[in-house]
């Protein structure tokens, strides 16, 4: 029997485990996490919030280049990442550097990426990830291919890719989902719906009530999750990962979240398209405040523990930016040398020309 549009939209009600007061409202969906797991997730969220604050300050000082703030999206980013294994591949968007860091990318290299240095895009051995994608949505088709490759090789691993709500308006989004669905690729697609594609509200991007329901057209699973609820994001990602590895196909996860800062530090002014009332509403849903309440009620977290994380983050950030600053500046010959395994004749000529200039 055919379902109506209303019936489809009703299927995609927001999945939540923990409410804004840190209370469990969906006990049956609670993931199997130890007390230490819960504390580690909190440590990562606090650390990442400090990293965001410091990165904004470093950008304003001229010590970092491109930077996309992450405050408000910690539950969406880190809850999903905590459900991954080291063997999984991450294909991030430009706001998803925190996942790369917790996947093993050294912090100083994350800073080099922001500074435009080629070494910021070189993933260390064992860190299964691609560089943050600047082109909106381009990583989605790539993730479908990586997921299919993992399946064909019989790997118990997935490809997970991230984009914002604006990415779901791109042609690559539909192509990637359709391809992954057709071939049951081991891929999880995460759309972090922070309500605005730069300044364009999500209701101006699509007539669909949810982004999650777009999974129906691709014949794959879809779920909308409270992206400020780290437990719900973790549980949804864990289930999606298991489905992919078990041959049940890919999943589209829409996390309902919010970025507290501007789209990027490149001149965006969110006060031009967001109201104070909207900001206040979402600040009440802050993922760190919510999770802190939950842990404190379980006697698993204290102000002293949080301060320790804050101080550790500050120290490591200070050391990492110093290392990034001391990294030799990239040269034109560096860029030419890493473009091809074997340089074509025209680039060999350019290499010789620049080598002569750089030697003077």
Residues with catalytic roles: 259, 263, 273
Cβ(43)–Cβ(35) below 8 Å:
no
3-state secondary structure of 18: strand
Q: What distance in Å separates the CA atoms of residue 25 and residue 30, rounded to the nearest whole number? A: 9
Closest CA to 95 of 210, 192, 226: 192
Per DSSP bridges, beta strands 200-201 and 196-197 are antiparallel
Query: What number of other Cβ atoms are within 10 A of residue 257's Cβ?
Result: 26
Start-to-end C-alpha separation, the chain: 76
For 92, the 3-state DSSP assignment is: coil
Report yes or no: 147 and 187 within 8 Å, Cβ to Cβ: yes
Distance, in Å, from the CA atom of 239 to the CA atom of 225, rounded to the nearest integer, reads 13
CA distance 268 to 319: 29
Which of these, 133, 136, 144, 213, lies nearest to 176 by C-alpha position?
Answer: 144
Mapped to the 3 state alphabet, what secondary structure does 197-208 carry?
Answer: ECCEEHHHCCCC
- Residue 158 in contact with residue 150, Cβ under 8 Å? yes
State the residue for tokens 């994001």.
233
Residue 299, classified by CB atoms within 10 Å of its CB into exposed (0-12), middle (13-18) or buried (19+), is exposed
Cβ atoms within 10 Å, residue 212: 28
C-alpha distances in angstroms, 357 versus 71, 150, 351?
44, 45, 10
The separation between CA 32 and the C-alpha centre of its own chain, rounded to angstroms, equals: 23
Cα distances from 13 to residues 16, 192, 249, 255, 349, in angstroms, run 9, 16, 21, 12, 60
């Amino acid at each position: 029997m055919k379902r109506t549009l209303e019936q489809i939209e009703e299927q995609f009600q927001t999945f939540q485990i923990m409410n804004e007061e840190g209370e469990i409202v969906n006990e049956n969906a609670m993931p199997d996490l130890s007390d230490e797991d819960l504390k580690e997730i909190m440590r990562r969220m606090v650390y990442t919030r400090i990293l965001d604050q410091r990165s904004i300050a470093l950008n304003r000082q001229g010590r970092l280049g491109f930077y996309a703030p992450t405050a408000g999206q910690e539950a969406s980013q880190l809850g999903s990442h905590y459900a991954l294994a080291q063997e999984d591949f991450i294909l991030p968007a430009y706001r998803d550097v925190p996942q790369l860091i917790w996947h093993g990318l050294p912090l100083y290299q994350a800073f080099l990426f922001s500074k435009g240095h080629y070494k910021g895009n070189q993933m260390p051995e064992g860190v299964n990830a691609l560089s943050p994608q600047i082109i909106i949505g381009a990583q989605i088709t790539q993730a479908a291919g990586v997921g299919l490759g993992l399946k064909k090789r019989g790997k118990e691993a997935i490809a997970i890719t991230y984009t914002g709500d604006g990415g779901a308006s791109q042609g690559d989004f539909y192509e990637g989902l359709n391809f992954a669905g057709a071939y049951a690729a081991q891929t999880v697609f995460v759309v972090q719906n922070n309500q605005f594609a730069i300044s364009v509200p999500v209701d101006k991007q699509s007539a669909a009530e949810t982004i999650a329901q777009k999974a129906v057209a691709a014949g794959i699973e879809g779920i909308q999750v409270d992206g400020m609820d780290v437990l719900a994001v973790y549980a949804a990602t864990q289930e999606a990962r298991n489905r992919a590895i078990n041959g049940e196909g890919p999943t589209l996860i829409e996390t309902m979240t919010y970025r507290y800062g501007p789209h990027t530090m490149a001149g965006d002014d969110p006060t031009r398209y967001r109201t104070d009332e909207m900001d206040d509403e979402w600040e009440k849903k802050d993922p760190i405040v919510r999770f802190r309440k939950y842990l404190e009620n379980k006697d698993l977290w204290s102000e002293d523990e949080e301060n320790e994380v804050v101080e550790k983050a500050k120290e490591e950030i200070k050391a990492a930016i110093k290392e990034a600053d001391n990294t030799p500046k990239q040269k034109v010959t560096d860029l030419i040398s890493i473009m091809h395994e074997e340089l074509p004749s025209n680039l060999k000529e350019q290499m010789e020309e620049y080598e002569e200039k750089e030697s003077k």
